[in-house]
Structure 1
Amino acid sequence: MRAMVITKDHGLELTELPEPVAAPGEVLIDVVAAGVNRADLAQTAGKYPPPPGASELPGLEVSGYRRDTGEKVVALLAGGGYAEVVAVPTELLLPAPAGFSLVDAAGVIEAAATVVSNLVLEAGLHEGETILIQGGTGGIGSVAIQLARHLGARVLATVGSDAAIATARELGADMAWNRHTTDLLEAVRETGGVDVILDVVGGSALADHVGMLRESGRLVIIGTLGGASGELPIGMLMGKRGRVVGTTLRSRPLETKHGILEAVRYLAWPLLESGDLRVPIHARLPLERAEEAHAILREGGHLGKVILEVAAPANNSGGGRRRRE
């Protein structure tokens, strides 16, 4: 099979590898497309190794066909998505959402699982609360804005440019700011503070984020774009009875990830299939241009997901099982 491997100098190279062998409880997926995530960039750079036993190939989400049944599915992976075939535990599969091309469906499951697990299961966001979403037009942020709005929250967001402010508002943000030109702490305080922060920045923003929280506020850290350590104002956090939660999705136990996907199926899938929740696609590139896809995420400023097209669906319509020659 064709697959994209990480080279010794932290690049990506297309090569031929043996197909994986499905372990007990796993099925093989003939991959149509793979979503690109920041974790893939970190792994390629040597900063985010896969969990023990996972594939060394990058790629945390795919769409394709179950080889045993021919069903159209999406899969959440611990690694291996940049390849023509993946082996996946059946617990980490969901039916591809109706109304999506199978290529675009590749960018759905990681974002949906991240947002549902952190906004709902970790932060307990509910109607009437206010949330700040950092990186509001990225793959995670664009979904988080929409889902938070659906839950009845007031949504604030940061973006990377003045032009992106309108985009965040179109997605459902009540207010949005250019993070490069705004005193965010002051701006958020002027709005009355927030109950929840979805944080992709990490250490450099830690003190400011605690300063934005209301009483019983929750800071949920899912990324470290601004550094992996920072100063935590413990007295302020205690005074607000606030919580700081750090989470990852990739390394969680199988049963935990299965529970998250069940919540995704219940909360997000109906919204996706009705069109009330959309996953914007910034670019679709062939597998061999994976380095270009990574550069898009590295440079920032994109709207939504970047997709790698691994193989064309049968009859180019997203229907039927892809035949292997």
Structure 2
Amino acid sequence: MADVGAMPTDIVPTEMTAIGIAQPGGPQALVPQRRAVPVPGADEVLIKVAAAGVNRPDVLQRQGKYPPPPGASDIPGLEVSGTIVAAGSGADMLLGQQVCALLTGGGYAEYALAPAGQCLPVPSGYDLIEAAALPETLFTVWTNLFERAYAVGGDTVLVHGGTSGIGTMAIRLCNLFDVKIIVTCGSDEKCAQAIGWGADHAINYRSQDYVEEVKRITGGQGVQAVLDMVGGDYVPRNLACLSEDGRHVSIAVLGGAKAEIFIPAIMQKRLTITGSTLRARSVGFKSLVADELMRTVWSFVDEGKLRPAMDQRFALTDAAKAHARMDAGDHFGKIVLVV
């Protein structure tokens, strides 16, 4: 058993309900199971989960396309909110605090482990269910759009999937940091939702050529950065949307893992093409990001100016229904499981 530096006054059970993956497949693969409550090791905390966010990587894991990193829980779920009820050595100062946390897995459960450095305090009066929908998209958008793509006030950026969890978080962060944002969506209704949420422009990619629309919106100059989760044939089109010295960041390949690009165009406009995945990054890296978010973003959370777009809430044991909604693609913002 791992070393436990501090335990709460109330008794933590030895077993819990968690959502396992019976076998790779559709939403029905998610089934409630009885699992042992994990024990925090050094610099880890045990969170009594109030809610867990549902994210696209969870879907890919359910389908057998995105296995957890070595040492991570096989239970899906990359973000939770709740109360710290046990702590390993080095983390006992957090005992009793309400937090939201970024995980490498294990969130779809009544209790979840998190590295202490990846926990962020939930402000008094902030909805714990909303707090569960913050970490994964906040860490992702911040590290990729504001760190890797260097988006700053006065820039214009293009973000695909404008009504997704990533897209809606990107919109709000851009609003807060004076960055103009153009998003793409799959219907006029979703474009209207994105505009209502704060996007400066929304393009229906089914009925409009988004490359031409970006040129029109920017007066032919293009955008300073593109945040892309599609990949495939979107990549050369994204590069055509960039201004000189523009930055392209790939964070997923939902539309294909390969792309054909025209290298001279990259050279002529001095473009930067980069990308990242977050889940497999080290605890040290993610803890540094959490520290930066505390310094630069968390004041907006404290003031109630940064809240996630919330779609539907489902009971933990209805995780299959939550995934069915995500698979349908009709959601706006974040789907959350409530314990």
Q: TM-score, normalised by structure 1?
A: 0.92
Q: Secondary structure at the match of 2:184?
A: strand
Does 1:268 pair with 2:294? no
Q: What is the aligned partner in structure 2 of residue 319 from structure 1?
A: none
Superposed, which structure 2 residues align to 1:1-325 within 5 Å?
Answer: 1-10=16-25, 11-68=29-86, 69-191=95-217, 192=220, 193-310=222-339
SS of equivalent residue, structure 1 residue 188: helix
Aligned Cα RMSD in Å?
A: 1.3
Separation in structure 1 between the aligned mates of residue 137 and residue 168 of structure 2, nearest angstrom: 9
Partner-residue secondary structure (3-state), 1:41: helix
Letter aligned with residue 69 of structure 2: P
Residue 7 of structure 1: how far off its partner (Å): 1.2
Is the 1:29–1:65 Cα contact (8 Å) retained in structure 2? yes
- What SS is found at the alignment partner of 2:152? coil
Regions of 4+ moved over 6 Å: none
Give yes or no for contact 2:24–2:64 (8 Å, CA) kept in 1.
Answer: no
Q: Tell me, what secondary structure is at the counterpart of 1:107?
A: coil
Deviation at 1:268, TM superposition (A): 2.4
Tell which deviates more after alignment, 66-75 or 98-107: 98-107
The percentage of aligned residue pairs carrying the same residue is 43
The residue identity in structure 1 corresponding to 2:209 is: D
CA distance in 2, matches of 1:202, 1:273: 35
Unaligned runs of 5+ in 1: 311-325
What CA distance in whole angstroms lies between the structure 1 residues aligned with 2:82 and 2:216? 47
Distance 2:30 2:251 in 1: 25
State whether residues 6 and 12 of structure 1, in contact with CA within 8 Å, keep that contact through their aligned partners in structure 2: yes
Which digits, 9 at most, give the CA deviation of each residue in 1:216-271, with x for residues without a partner?
A: 10111111121111112222112111111111111101111111111222222211
Normalised by the size of structure 2, how large is the TM-score? Answer: 0.88
Measured against aligned partners, the alpha-carbon deviations of 1:3-60 in whole angstroms (never above 9, x if no partner) come to 0001124311101011112122211111111000000000010000111100011000
Contact 2:24–2:62 (CA<8 Å) still a contact in 1? no
* Cα displacement (A) at 1:291: 1.3
Change (3 A) 1:82 1:131: same
Runs (5+) with no aligned partner, structure 2: 1-15, 87-94
Quick one: which amino acid aligns to residue 73 of structure 1? V
